[in-house]
Amino acid sequence: MTGYWDNPTATAETLVEGWLDTGDEMRLDDDGYLWFCGRRKQIIVHDGSNICPQDVEDALCEHSAVELAGAIGIHDLMHGENVRAYVTLKEAASVPTVPELISFSRERIGYKAPEDIVVLAEMPLNPSGKVDRVALKAMAAEAPAS
């Protein structure tokens, strides 16, 4: 890639010292494997800690009643961002309460657990079938309080 057409600012942000900065966040485990944590733009910064939305989503999806989960950061003056999760539930499952789901995720991921969970009838998905966090951000902007 040589740059963006007529957009030197975007080119400078993306091409750094000859490297293409994709904005992906990775972590290296003890065995030397790289794990994808998400996009830098989607990382939730809560009290100075970087929270990967995928960690929150994976923890919630361990619950037997949760079909899909999506996590985003919601602007907060005190903490920077708070974690809000959106879930869809399996049809045949007994319906857990929001506090039960928060407690369930807190047992698995501690401080990364969402402060707020919204249950949806249908999860927005992007064209590749993944949870559409951009659509969740738009939903949060339209209805800030759950």
Which helix (H) or strand (E) segment is 81 a member of? strand 80-89
Per residue in 53-110, pLDDT (tens digit) is 999 999 999 999 999 999 999 998 998 899 999 999 999 888 999 999 999 999 999 9
pLDDT at 7: 92
Q: Which domains does the chain have, with CATH numbers?
A: 1-42 (2.30.38.10), 43-142 (3.30.300.30)
Residues whose CB is less than 8 angstroms from the CB of residue 51 and which lie 6 or more positions away in sequence, other chains included: 43, 44, 45, 73, 83, 112
pTM of the model: 0.77
Which helix (H) or strand (E) segment is 46 a member of? strand 44-46
pLDDT above 90 (res 13): no
